[in-house]
Chains A and B, each alone.
Chain A
Amino acid sequence: MTQSSPFSSPAPAGGSIPPAARVKLARLKARAWGVAFGLLCGVGLGVATLILVIKGGPTVGAHLGLLSVFLPGYSVSYGGALVGFVYLFVIGYALGRLVGSVYNYFVRTE
């Protein structure tokens, strides 16, 4: 992996950044990834639910409603949008945090 500062003169041959510094530079903020993933997932499901509710029809969100198998309490309704947002935010946060942590682990062990 090569890391170079875009704001300095080109690094001399042989690599000027020590391995420890390179690992530190390459690390991700796992919490930030968690929040980003969580918001992405939560807002995604919330908006999808709201769109179906606003659109209306004889059977509102017949397929999306099946998520209640995995997310107890979730339904295609205004309240369900909030419940779904919370569920998916928590799940997305965990996944994002896991991605960041695993990434940092692999960067460290390279």
Chain B
Amino acid sequence: MDAGVSRPTPVTDPRNIVFHVDRELLHMTNVDAQLEAELTQVFAPLDKRALGLAMGMVGALLLSIVTLTSMLLDPNGEFPLVLLGQYFYGYSVSAVGLLVGAAWAFFTGFVWGWFLAICRNFLLALWLMVVRVRSDQAAARGFLDHI
């Protein structure tokens, strides 16, 4: 067959086959890398200290705002916010109580954030381990059939 008359199709040309295979492998590699990057981001563990600090600061801010609002809008103490003093020693609906409450709220929020991150990371790691074990078991299931 005259190559000048009929152009070879991409499949029959050995150079094109190599090119196609290379491109396919490159595409698969890119997809795998992209998928792995996204999965890594999804399954990345939470930073315990950062989440503790974040929740502590937001908790302190929230309690400060609530105390301040209560002092301004509810001077008669209709809303029993002072009952928080049962848990937060030294807390009261006052300027000093605001500082004490903010410190307590920061501490409590920090502990909650830290604990939340630990629980989330632990459960995620546990789940990943289960998935891995199941995957390994599924991969080895047909082993005896080959003997």
Q: Which residues from chain A sit less than 8 Å from chain B, CB to CB? A: 1-3, 5-8, 24-26, 28, 66-67, 69-70, 95, 98-100, 102-103, 106-107, 110
Contact = CB atoms under 8 A, between A and B. Distances in A.
28 contacts: A3-B44, A5-B40, A6-B128, A7-B36, A7-B40, A7-B43, A25-B40, A26-B46, A66-B80, A67-B79, A69-B70, A69-B78, A70-B69, A70-B70, A70-B73, A70-B79, A95-B62, A99-B55, A100-B54, A102-B53, A102-B54, A102-B58, A103-B51, A106-B47, A106-B53, A106-B54, A107-B47, A110-B47
A25 B41 contact: yes
Chain B interface mostly helix, strand, loop or mixed?
A: helix
Chain A interface mostly helix, strand, loop or mixed?
A: helix
B24 interface: no
Contact of A69 (B45, B53, B62, B73): B73
A24 B57 CA distance: 22
Given A5-B40, A110-B50, A70 B66 contact: yes
Contacts of A1: 47
Contacts of B45: 2-3
B44 A26 contact: yes
A57 B128 CA distance: 49
Which of A69, A70, A103, A107 has the most chain B CB atoms closer than 10 A to its own CB?
A103
Contact of A26 (B47, B69, B132): B47
Contact of A5 (B36, B46, B49): B36
Contacts of B22: none
Contacts of B57: 102
Contacts of A98: 54, 58, 61
Given A7-B40, A70-B69, A102-B58, A107 B78 contact: no
Contacts of A26: 44, 46-47, 50
Which of B43, B54, B79 has the most chain A CB atoms closer than 10 A to its own CB?
B54
**Closest 8 CB pairs between A and B?**
A106-B50, A102-B54, A103-B54, A5-B40, A69-B79, A25-B44, A99-B54, A66-B79
